[in-house]
Amino acid sequence: MRTRIAAGNWKMNTTLNEGMSLAHRINEFVKNYSLENKRIILGTPFTHLATIASSVDYKKISLAAQNCARWEKGAYTGEISAEMVRSTGAHYIIIGHSERRQFFKETHEELKQKVDLCLKSNLRPIFCIGEKLEEREANLHFDVVKKQLTESLFHLDHENMMHTVIAYEPVWAIGTGKNATPEQAQEMHAYIRTLIKEIYGISTAIEISILYGGSCNAANASSLFIQPDIDGGLIGGASLKVDDFIEIIKAL
């Protein structure tokens, strides 16, 4: 049975004290909440990881970095390696978010390197994919997603693929207030699962968690998560609002 996941991506928000307060309130909620076959992930800024990791119940809450360097180590001032992330107590790294692709021009090859370093450090990638509005309007959305997966993820062997989470985030729905309809999201999730099946077999395709992102919030989470191939969400703005994020967790 696939793991249901609510993963918050805090992006470049919260001071350390603000992040600690947010994590504490989520931790208090999950203390008495059954998370059988469910997982809560907080994607905090790098500066928060070690402190929050030591203050939450790691059996119920996992932490994710929002990025890592494409190099293992070296003279790369300001960069954070996957191994550094692991040393904080984090378990995941968000890789390939559309904002990284857009603002930092991350390429398929660079993301492939990051995926490999993430797995080498015994961390799990949350690998983001998704099309721009003009690509969907040109009916290229399936081609775009297939290329993103093929170029950066489908080189993995079966074992490493099983340690990966995929997050489909249509770029036109991230932070815009727009979102794909549940039917549009399900269509793409089913397509992604079909691609995995073609390469890795049906058992792998059935087991891998595929999340939806892109203006997923407390109001629409239930209608998205009820779809057969949507296993939870990678949540942006709503993850910064405790009450909203708790409602999203309840929708899993």
| pLDDT on residue 177 | 66
Main-chain phi, psi angles of 60, to 5 degrees: -115, -25
Query: What tens digit of pLDDT does each residue of 3-25 get?
Result: 999 999 999 999 999 999 999 99
- For residue 129, the cross-strand partners are 168
Query: What tens digit of pLDDT does each residue of 55-93 get?
Result: 999 999 999 999 999 999 999 999 999 999 999 999 999
Query: By the 8 A CB rule, do 221 and 248 touch?
Result: yes
Q: Is residue 247 flagged as an active site residue?
A: no
Number of domains in the chain: 1
| Percent of the residues in the chain that have a pLDDT greater than 90, as a whole number | 94
Residue 188 one-letter amino acid: M
Please state the rounded mean pLDDT for residues 233-239.
97
| pLDDT on residue 180 | 85
Please state the rounded mean pLDDT for residues 232-251.
97
Query: What tens digit of pLDDT does each residue of 194-211 get?
Result: 999 999 999 999 999 999
- Closest alpha carbon to 43 in 1, 108, 102, 100: 100
Main-chain phi, psi angles of 4, to 5 degrees: -90, 130
Please state the rounded mean pLDDT for residues 109-124.
98
Predicted confidence (pLDDT) at residue 248 exceeds the cutoff of 70: yes
> How is residue 174 written in tokens?
């991230």
| pLDDT on residue 66 | 98
Q: Is residue 169 flagged as an active site residue?
A: yes
| pLDDT on residue 158 | 96
* CA–CA distance, 124 with 23 (Å, rounded to integer): 21
- Residue 178's domain is classified under what CATH number? 3.20.20.70
List 48, 97, 141, 189, catalytic entry:
97
Domain membership of residue 168 as a residue range: 4-251
Q: What single-letter DSSP state applies at residue 237?
A: G
List 48, 110, 169, 189, catalytic entry:
169
The model's pTM:
0.97
* CA–CA distance, 167 with 14 (Å, rounded to integer): 23
